Structure 1
Amino acid sequence: MTTEGTVEAFRRAEELLAQRRPLEALHVLEPVLDVAADKPSVQLLLGRAYYFSAQLRRAERAFLRVLEFDPSDHYARLVLGRTLQRQGRLNEARAQIRLAATMHPVPAYQEALGEINAHIATRGI
């Protein structure tokens, strides 16, 4: 695949994900992964597609890969936290979301932290 073709496929996968068609996005990403699996942006998009198709373990692995490339990626920490939350791993989720909210103190991240804290409090964990 040419560089131009890789970029085009990546953009198409982004569009499909925005249209809530994660399985199609994953299919379009396959050739991109052959040539650019080591790119954080590719792993992040892959993780999001896995997340939205409820392939949570795969999403977790993709987000962890992004964090291997860049431990300061606050968005990767947030979506990793959300992924862990959907798996019922609330304490792990809270740790990631807390880090994300500390790194990037915006209302959406603070709300996510408040939500996870409420879930933990209700379950008595």
Structure 2
Amino acid sequence: MNTPSAYYEHGTAAERWARAQLFFDAKEYAPAALVLTSLAAEVPEQLAPRLLLARAFYHSAQLTRAERELRAILERWPVEDYAQLLLGRTLERQGRAAEAAPYLRIAAAMAGEFPEG
């Protein structure tokens, strides 16, 4: 482990998942994203690492990366309501409220929150 990045990529997938969760829980979002980037690439068929990666990007203000990851998640798992919500919030943080609105409406509907008529 000669480089700092080697620390983030070292260990089994389970060890890296645990390390990423520790970073995330400690609100160390950028290091969590470093761990999760390689893990998500290694197991792209698993939703949990990819969703936590998107959340880490969002919380560390890497909004373009968060958006990219969330769009990829929704392409594969279109009924993932939290990804719908987080994509809407990510777009809002980028000043793209009109583009965010459909994602926020879908997330609300999936959560059973309907506007009163």
Residue deviations 1:21-69, cap 9 Å, x none?
Answer: 0111122224413421342222111111111111101000111111111
Q: TM-score normalized by structure 2?
A: 0.80
SS where residue 54 of structure 1 aligns?
coil
What is the CA-CA distance between 1:86 and the residue it aligns to?
A: 0.2
**Aligned position for 1:62:** 69
Alignment check: 8 A CA contact 2:70 2:87 kept: yes
SS where residue 13 of structure 2 aligns?
helix
Gaps of 5+ in 2: 1-8
Kindly report structure 1 stretches of 4+ aligned residues shifted beyond 6 Å: none
Q: CA separation of 1:79/1:34 partners in 2, compared to 1, >3 Å: closer, same or farther?
A: closer
**Structure in which a larger fraction of residues adopt helix:** 1
Q: TM-score normalized by structure 1?
A: 0.75
Say how many residue pairs are matched. Answer: 106
**Aligned position for 2:110:** 103
Q: How does 1:1-125 map to 2 (within 5 A)?
A: 5-105=12-112
Gaps of 5+ in 1: 114-125
SS where residue 95 of structure 2 aligns?
coil
Alignment check: 8 A CA contact 1:67 1:76 kept: yes
- RMSD over aligned Cα atoms: 2.2
